[in-house]
Amino acid sequence: MTSLLVDRIGELVTNEPGGRDPLAIRRDAAVVVVDGQIAWIGPTGGAPACDVRVDASNRAVIPGFVDSHTHLVFAGDRSGEFAARMAGEPYTGGGIRRTVAATNAAPDTELSANLAYLQRELTRQGTTTFETKSGYGLGVDTEARLLRIARGVTPETTFLGAHVVPDEYKDRPDDYVALVCGPMLDACAPHARWVDAFCERGAFDADQSRAVLTAGVAVGLAPRLHANQLGDGPGVRLGVELGAAAVDHCTHLSDADIDALAGGDTVATLLPGVEFSTRSPYPPARRLLDAGVTVALATDCNPGSSFTSSMPFCVALAVREMHLTPAEALWCATAGGAAALRRTDVGTITAGASADLVVLDAPSHVHLAYRPGVPLVHTVVANGEIAYQQGNS
């Protein structure tokens, strides 16, 4: 049983609930990690001796980022679509089928290697917990294959067979929904924790999305939903009604959507990398926060609408473009992400929590937005182990 001490922390963001400051910042602090968990937090100098010491040298330490929404199991490149969008083309989601074709043609070894590459990117940028999903297979065996590969790297796996209707079902979408709710779900459920659908015009309507989520819940999966990305729609309210842990995107929200979120316990997950990469208006984050809704920030890392794995970049976008304070944005990217995954063991640096923390090469968390695009992650501890150190890998 190895113990690890991180001391001389100038600013320690704990996210400990209950106080007036949501970040519950401590100064000149130390953290002791034993057996993958936070064992002790106190002043530098008061900590017990440990096997390994990380001297934070007055830097800031934050909880590891919790990226509650990614699509990392895929093959192929869609940079041409991005270039076309920057020249004026709209994003419609139609390119999803291009990734489906490339993914289905790729062997497991290629998909696993791509996933490992992206996982390293996430780690180097301070993400210690992430969700990822299927959705680029759209067949019984291919969706199960993507989830099996995803399960190898995270317990937070989501079945998204209802991503779009594949070409072979385009004239009979309800037959595809029946396939998703039947044989595809049966094949995928053993590898998934969550069930999701893309509830959007051009993808799945409210009845179809309801059918998929209800079928998933019936076999023990927990619901979450892609909603209100490309336009107004019923997705957010449907998610709240079905008790979804989170509704994700929330780009186009009516007052009724915000009231529904404020009245339920569904988290609104905002994905500002999408608005950046599709040149769309940003979600009304301030209205959500002012209404008391729990907000999460995530990357939505995927080859189409948002090919960034960087939570620091999303924090900077949330501050600059959605008017969150740097403290609010950091909370949403850590504790907010944990709430979106219904996890109480991550997203905080508190006794008993999973020892997931990031030493920033900066004196304060504010630098995450103040110094956009700068690699500020100095050291990453994930599950009690040093997963990354600047200059060492």
Instruction: Point out which residues bind ligand NIG (CB under 6 A).
Output: 71, 93, 95-96, 99, 198, 226, 229, 274, 300, 302-305
Token pair 């990305």 is found at 229
Binding residues vs Fe ion (CB under 5 A):
300
Smaller CB distance to Fe ion: residue 275 or 300? 300
Question: At its nearest, how many Å lie between ligand NIG and the CB of residue 200?
Answer: 7
Q: Which of 164, 273, 165, 181 is nearest to 219 (CA)?
A: 181
Contact 104, 137 (CB under 8 A): yes
Q: How far apart are CA 220 and CA 214, in angstroms?
A: 10
Question: At its nearest, how many Å lie between ligand NIG and the CB of residue 270?
Answer: 12
User: Has 367 been labeled as part of a binding site?
Assistant: no
Smaller CB distance to ligand NIG: residue 74 or 331? 74
Question: At its nearest, how many Å lie between ligand NIG and the CB of residue 233?
Answer: 12
Question: At its nearest, how many Å lie between Fe ion and the CB of residue 120?
Answer: 21
Smaller CB distance to ligand NIG: residue 75 or 322? 75
Smaller CB distance to Fe ion: residue 197 or 293? 197
Question: At its nearest, how many Å lie between Fe ion and the CB of residue 14?
Answer: 30
- The residues, any chain, with a CB within 8 Å of residue 357's CB and separated by 6 or more, are 6, 31, 61, 62, 63, 64, 128, 349, 380, 381
Which single residue brings its beta carbon nearest to ligand NIG? 304
Smaller CB distance to Fe ion: residue 90 or 263? 90
Question: At its nearest, how many Å lie between Fe ion and the CB of residue 180?
Answer: 17
- Cβ-based neighbour number of residue 292 at 10 Å: 10
Q: Which of 219, 150, 152 is nearest to 184 (CA)?
A: 219
Question: At its nearest, how many Å lie between ligand NIG and the CB of residue 196?
Answer: 10
User: Has 292 been labeled as part of a binding site?
Assistant: no
User: Has 370 been labeled as part of a binding site?
Assistant: no
User: Has 392 been labeled as part of a binding site?
Assistant: no
Contact 122, 139 (CB under 8 A): no
In Å, what is the CA distance from 283 to each residue of 69, 224, 271, 275, 289?
A: 16, 18, 9, 8, 12
Q: How is residue 121 written in tokens? A: 């990117």
Residue 294 binding target from ligand NIG, Fe ion, none, CB below 5 to 8 Å by type? none
Q: How far apart are CA 40 and CA 70, in angstroms?
A: 32
- The residues, any chain, with a CB within 8 Å of residue 78's CB and separated by 6 or more, are 95, 98, 99, 303, 304, 307
Token pair 């984050």 is found at 285
Residue 31 binding target from Fe ion, ligand NIG, none, CB below 5 to 8 Å by type? none
- C-alpha torsion sign, points 174, 175, 176, 178: positive
Residue 114 binding target from ligand NIG, Fe ion, none, CB below 5 to 8 Å by type? none
Q: Which of 303, 248, 249, 301 is nearest to 101 (CA)?
A: 303
Which single residue brings its beta carbon nearest to Fe ion? 300
Smaller CB distance to Fe ion: residue 23 or 318? 318
User: Has 71 been labeled as part of a binding site?
Assistant: yes
User: Has 365 been labeled as part of a binding site?
Assistant: no
Query: Where is the binding site for N-formimidoyl-L-glutamate, in residues?
Result: 136, 302, 304
Q: Could you list the residues known to form a binding site for Zn(2+), using ranges.
A: 69, 71, 226, 300
Binding residues for Fe(3+): 69, 71, 226, 300
Q: Which residues are annotated binding-site positions for 4-imidazolone-5-propanoate?
A: 78, 136, 163, 229, 305
